[in-house]
Amino acid sequence: MNSRLIKRNKMEEWARFLAAFPQIDATVIDRTGMTGAFDFRLTNPAANEPGATTGLLPAVQPLLESQLGLRLRPTQGPVEVLIIDRVERPTDN
């Protein structure tokens, strides 16, 4: 089975990791209230199906809920954003 093991991550770090998944395409904020470091393993059961392509990413949200008991809920609220409005080459000084 195709699985990913993440060791000793805090929930805040896990939220940042999840936000990087293209299937989620949103800012993920930890509101679990859980402290400490955790080991996470997500397994893609579809990877064993005939004709499965390893390049295709599974739907992450159903895996989170069924395997880890974590649920992503869409909400609205303020988030910090860094905007780079201009870039210049450094001078030779």
pLDDT surpasses 80 at 2: no
Helix (H) or strand (E) holding 30: none
Q: What's the predicted TM-score (pTM) here? A: 0.65
Residues written for the chain: 93
pLDDT surpasses 50 at 56: no
Which pLDDT band, with edges at 50, 70 and 90, does 49 fall under?
low
pLDDT at residue 50 in the model:
65
Helix (H) or strand (E) holding 62: helix 60-63
Q: Which two tokens stand for residue 82?
A: 């860094």
Which pLDDT band, with edges at 50, 70 and 90, does 39 fall under?
very high
Which segments of the chain are extended strands (E)? 2-9, 38-44
pLDDT above 70: percentage of residues in the chain: 86
